[in-house]
Amino acid sequence: MDNVVIEKFGGASINSASAVRNVITILQRPTDRKRVIVVSAMGKTTNALEKVVNMWHKNKRFNYEEFERIKEYHRGIAEELFNQNTLESVLKQLNDIFEQIEERIKTLNPLDYNFLYDNIVSYGERLSSTIVSLYMDYVHMKHRLVEAQNYIKTDNTFRAAQVDWKQTRKSIDKDFNYLFDESDLILTQGFIGSTREGYTTTLGREGSDYSAAIFAYCLDADSLTIWKDVNGLMNADPKRMENTVKLNIVPYKEAIELSYYGASIIHPKTIKPLENKSIPLYVRSFNNPELQGSIICHGEQVVPLVPNYIFKEKQTLLSVSTKDFSFIAEDNISNIFSILSKHGVKVNLIQNSALTFSVCFEHSEFVLQNLIEDLQQFYNVKYNNDLQLITIRHYTEDSIKEATRNSKILIEQKNRVTIQCLIKPETESA
C-alpha cells in the first residue's frame, strides 16, 4: 500500500495526561501520509495486571488491592484529560472494561497460566487505546480505532504467540483499504493477537514493537517510527553509564545482534520483517520530537563505531554434572535442553567442560525450583543467583575494564566482535 507509515508509542509515552497530550501534539503535525498508530499499555499497567493474574493463578483469589490501583490510575488520567461534560461518558466506558476484566478472570481456569495471562494482561492495551481514542475525539482528531486481535493472527502458543503471516496479511488486506478511505489515521493496540478460534494471544513482553513491524510488513509501509524516552539508539543505557553516544545509523544485521543479546530499546523480533522489505526503522524521542534520532536500515557498519553495552540483571547461573562423574556427552546435553525447553527457559549464555554443563538465564524463582526438581532426577545441580550478564559489541580492552569494574567475573566468552561477561557485583562493605 502506497504512502503508509507506522508509528508506535510505548507505555512511557502515554503514562500521564500530559504525556497523552504530547503524543497528540506529535500526531497533529502536518502530513500527507496514511498512518497506523500502535500504542502499548499505559505506564506500568502490564506489570500491575500480571500481579492480578499471579494471585488468581496461585490462590484463586482476586487481587482487589492491585486492581483498584489500576482503576484509579486510568481514571486519574481521564479526569485530567476531559472536561466534566465529557468525563462521565469516558469513565463509563472505562468502567465497562474494568467490569469485563473482573468478570472474565473469574471464568478462567487458574491453573492454565499462559491462557489466563493473555486473556487478562491484554486489557492494558485495550484501556490505553480507549483513552487515546476518546481524547482524539475530544480534540476533533479524525481517526478509526480498530482491534489488533482482529488482524494479527497467531498460533496457540499463549504468552509467546507465533504469527500466522499468511492469515495476518489476508486480514489486513481485506479491511485496511476501506479503513483508510474513512480516515488517514488508524489507531490500534500493540502486543495483542488472536488464534483462528478467536482466543486472545500476546506476542511476548515488550511485543508492541513487533506488532508495529507486523503492520509495517503487511502494509508495505514506507517506514516505521518507534517513539522512545531517549534521543535515539544509544550505545548504552543512559541510566547505567555516563557519556553515552547516540548511534546515528545502525545496519539491520547489527540491530538484530543487539536485540538478540538483550538491548531493551527494540523487541528482538521487530527487525527481520522490516529488513525483508527494506523498511527503515526510526527511533526518535517523544520528549524531543524535533530531533532526527537514529535510523536502522541497510548498511555495513554502525555510525559512529563505538563499543555497545548491554546489561542484563537478575541472572541465574545453573551448573549440571553427571551423578557418576562421567563426561557430559551429546545425549546429556540433548536431555538438558529438552528439560530447559519444557520449562520455557531462554538461555542467555552456555559454557560446557568435560564434566560440567552451565547455562545462564533470567531468574524466576517459580521456574528455577521446578527446573531443579526435574534436573535432579538425572544430575547434580548447583546454581548462583543475583548475577549480571554484560555484553559488549565492538569491545576494546578499556571498555571491558569499565564495564566489569568492582566485579568478579565468573564466565567470559568472546569472539572478534562480541564479549560476554557473567559477573557477580561486589557489594561495598560498610
Cell of 280: 527503515
**Rounded to a whole number, what is the distance in angstroms from the first to the last CA of the chain?**
63
Binding residues: 8-11, 46, 125
CA angle 172, 155, 171 (to 5 degrees): 10
Cell of 296: 536502522
Cα–Cα distance, 215 to 226 (Å, whole number):
13
Summary count for the chain: helices (H), strands (E): 13, 18
Binding residues for ATP: 8-11
Cα–Cα distance, 74 to 335 (Å, whole number):
47
Binding residues for substrate: 46, 125
Residue with cell 534520532: 293
- In DSSP terms, 185 is beta-bridged to 35
- In DSSP terms, 44 is beta-bridged to none
What are the residues whose beta carbons fall under 8 Å from the beta carbon of 77, sequence distance 6 or more?
Answer: 16, 17, 20, 42, 131
Residue with cell 486472545: 200
Cα–Cα distance, 60 to 111 (Å, whole number):
9
Cα–Cα distance, 336 to 333 (Å, whole number):
5
Cell of 349: 549464555
Cβ atoms within 10 Å, residue 91: 16
Cα–Cα distance, 346 to 13 (Å, whole number):
29
Cα–Cα distance, 385 to 392 (Å, whole number):
22
